[in-house]
Amino acid sequence: MTYVERELNPLGFQTVSREGYIGLERQVILSFSHLKFQFDCVCPAFPAIRALGCPLHHREDFGGSWPVEEAKKVAAIIGN
């Protein structure tokens, strides 16, 4: 499971698709209501290098990933 899925699935997002290699996701698409959100890996050479803020491979000890945080805001607006 990717960082974005761990953060957004409990809020009602559903995983639509994953692209990449086994265990090396490069893209995840989630849906919320009628919207689809595409999250792309920004790590230059995952797993050797993890990019700060990557929505797929983000290290949780460094705060949040801005694409994930923006999706949380959209969910809060639509959910109200």
pLDDT digits (tens, 9 = 90+) for 16-74: 999 987 768 899 999 998 999 999 998 888 888 888 888 998 877 777 899 999 999 99
- CA–CA distance, 74 with 12 (Å, rounded to integer): 12
Smallest CA-to-CA distance from 38 within 21, 58, 51, 55 is with 55
Q: Give pLDDT, residue 30.
A: 98
Task: Show me where the domains of the chain are located.
Answer: 3-79
SS3 content of the chain, % helix, strand, coil (to 5): 30, 30, 40
Q: Per-residue confidence at 10, pLDDT binned at 50, 70, 90?
A: very high
